[in-house]
Structure 1
Amino acid sequence: MLLTRLARPTTRVLHRLSSTSATQPRPSGVAAALLAAKDPNFTMAPTIHSEFALNDRVGLISGANRGLGLEMAMSLAEAGARTIYCVDLPPHPGAEFHAVSAALRTMRLSGKLEYVSADVTQQETMWSLGKQIGEKEGRMDFCVAAAGILREHTDCLEYPRGQMEDVMRVNVNGVLYTAQAAGREMERFGKGGSIVLVASMSGSLTNRGHAWLSYNTSKSAVLQMGRSMACELGSKNIRVNTLSPGHIYTSMTAAFIDKQPELSEKWASMNPLGRLGRPDELRGVVTWLASDASSYCTGSDILVNGGHHAW
């Protein structure tokens, strides 16, 4: 009897939430099924694929010449994004970027990657870039701030000022300026959007045996930056989340692993899956965060670390 009484208001609430959502023009899931049962003119259709789709959307990704940034750019292009502006420091894109661009053309996707050489630590440059993209494309839908650097093992009591400042300038200031560049355009167009700040599990824990004071500190700052921005921008329907990868074999981590091969086994043993992560294992989560499928997720940190934090 209790379940029967509860079912009616729950049905009404589900229908009301589905039909009034700003990012969901038609009901989906259970609400759609219930509506179809009442209204013979309402045609049921699967919506889960369209919820993850980024058709005709435009975005900005920093650190996208290679590594995780490029991997994420490719996944969002495959999800249907129209244009993804890939920002990085080198004056010209590298071989990996050209290979990905060629692969997207081979797959005959409608979207494309546009390489932009820019320094994420220069606020005026990033703001100007965001405005140029907005004026050209007429929209800004998502942003992934992925540019970051990691310095060699350094004793915390001897940490040089210049090295600390360099890491904080890229990993904290650069992330903020990238998010601002996209967020200002999202606000201007008034259609909301999704901003993903790439942090690290190192922002929530300390990597055993590694003196990475500046890196760990910078990633902790990114976590707080994400929460703070989410609270300020929620009323504008701009969602802000952080993504915290674990030990992923990339060009950045290769600088350590290739010099010390024993690190690969050591790092792998620190998580329940017993292996390092692959860059492609971040494709699904970044697509989810950029899409309407995560429309009620903001101010969150998504850990993708093989369960490293669970031990």
Structure 2
Amino acid sequence: MSQVQGPIGVDRALHSAPGTTPTPTIFKEFSLPDRVAIVSGGHRGLGLEMALALAEAGARVYALDLPPSPSEEFINVSRFVERLGEGRSLSYVSVDVTDQKQVWEKVAEIGNKEGRMDVCVAAAGILHEAKCLDYEAEDFQRVMSVNVNGVLYTAQAAGRQMVKFGNGGSIILIASMSGSITNRDHTWVAYNTSKSAVLQMARSLACELGSKQIRVNSLSPGHIYTKMTAAFIDKQPELADKWASSNPLGRLGRPDELRGVVTWLASDASTFCTGSDIIVSGGHHSW
């Protein structure tokens, strides 16, 4: 059910009785009270940032990730969400996203506990670098297993619960600008291929699930400074300036700069958006 009852926008303004004091609805359109969300890869980095954003918007969020127990960083963020109050929560669930049966079962447990499923952010992903002609099969498969299979299994698990409860929902697949372009001078054939697959996966799921009022979109970040990208920058410090100079804004992105777009995609503010790829790259792709 929409967080805003009755007309909105210009229609609401035209139907507003003269002499009354209206209240804005735009913030409610972005809010997620009583919504249940899962975020794979939500233990750290972009996943944790997006999980926190959904929780701040009012959702009960479950972060899915591989470590058997959450880190101190996650625990501290979870305690911060508790202090926000008003039904918000951020919980941790250990799961291997490459194990379809396990993902389905863990998400079904969440659905059964909450009695609904509204939002899915499939953000778990890994990066491995090797020259294309020498790329080892097992390394290539490992990237594809997490970045493609894991994304599909997570979307399936959430989508099955959304269908079960009949409330529709929003599935957001975290791709990358690397699915649409090739990062110059980087040997990331597996990563780039996996992210391109995610773009097509989102479009395909959107077309199948639209009749069930389940929206599916992809979100493609550019160069964002996270622990994953820091692993490359720490070994090659010159990369920071190189990546920063590769977009019109002349800087790396911050994880928090994805908060607004993921909340928009999850909320009623984007109810006519499905099958789309939202690129947040600082303009990198526009050169």
Give TM class, smaller chain. over 0.9
Change (3 A) 1:102 1:209: same
Say whether residues 1:225 and 2:205 are aligned partners: no
Contact 1:32–1:44, Cα closer than 8 Å, also in 2: no
- Runs of 4+ with >2 A deviation: 21-25, 40-45, 105-110
Q: Which residue of 2 aligns with 1:46?
A: 24
Give 1:159's aligned residue: 135
Equivalent pair of 1:147/1:171 in contact (CA under 8 Å): yes
Letter in 1 for 2:224: I
Please show how residues 114-153 of structure 1 align to structure 2 within 5 Å: 114-152=91-129
* Aligned-pair CA distance for 1:205: 0.2
Which sits farther off after the overlay, 42-51 or 216-225? 42-51
SS at match of 2:153: helix
* 2:65 and 2:93 in contact (8 A); partners too: yes
CA contact 2:2–2:268 (8 Å) conserved in 1: no
Among 7, 31, 38, the alignment partner of 2:11 is 31
Distance in 1, matches of 2:83 and 2:275, equals: 37
Equivalent of residue 170 in structure 1, options 124, 134, 146: 146
| 1:247 corresponds to | 223
Q: What is the letter of the counterpart of residue 261 of structure 2?
A: V
Distance in 1 separating the partners of 2:117 and 2:82? 23
State the percentage of identical aligned residues: 67
Per-residue CA deviations over 1:228-248 (Å, capped at 9, x if unaligned) read: 000010011100000000000
Q: Is the 8 A contact 2:177 2:220 kept in 1?
A: yes
In structure 2, distance between residues paired with 1:41 and 1:128: 54
SS at match of 1:74: helix
Q: Which ranges of structure 1 fall in alignment gaps of 5 or more residues?
A: 1-20
Shift of 1:178: 0.3
CA RMSD of aligned residues (A): 1.6
Amino acid at match of 2:66: L
Q: Distance in 2 between matches of 1:147 and 1:238?
A: 21
Using the TM superposition, give the Cα deviation of residue 43 of structure 1 relative to its aligned residue in structure 2, in angstroms: 7.7
Match of 1:163, as an amino acid?
D
1:56-135 aligned at under 5 Å gives the runs 56-81=34-59, 83-135=60-112
Contact 1:78 1:109 in 2 (8 A): no
- Provide the secondary structure at the position in 1 that maps to 2:235: coil
Contact 1:51–1:293, Cα closer than 8 Å, also in 2: yes
1:109 Cα deviation (Å)? 4.7
| TM-superposed deviation, 1:23 | 7.5
Asked whether 1:301 is paired with 2:281, we answer no
Q: Which residue of 2 aligns with 1:5?
A: none
Secondary structure of 2:16's partner?
Answer: helix
Deviations 1:146-199 (A, max 9, x none): 0000012x1111111000100000000000000011000001111100000000
Residue 133 of structure 1 and its aligned partner are, at CA, apart by: 1.0
Q: TM-score, normalised by structure 1?
A: 0.89
Structure 1 residue identity aligned to 2:277: D
Q: CA deviation at 1:42?
A: 9.2
Structure 1 residue 107, shift from structure 2 partner: 3.2
- Write out per-residue CA displacement over residues 6-63 of structure 1, whole angstroms, 9 at most, x where no aligned residue: xxxxxxxxxxxxxxx97863100101112226xx799843110110000011011100
TM-superposed deviation, 1:104: 1.6
Larger of the two Rg values belongs to structure:
1
Amino acid at match of 2:55: A
**Cα distance between partner residues in 1 of 2:80 and 2:37:** 19
Is the 2:49–2:256 contact (alpha carbons within 8 Å) kept by the matching residues of 1? yes
Cα pair distance change 1:252/1:233, threshold 3 Å: same
Q: Which whole-Å CA distance do the structure 2 matches of 1:236 and 1:176 have between them?
A: 18
| Alpha-carbon contact 1:64-1:147 (below 8 Å) kept | yes
Contact 2:175 2:198 in 1 (8 A): yes
Q: Give 1:106 deviation, angstroms.
A: 3.0
Tell me the amino acid that sits aligned with residue 244 of structure 1.
S
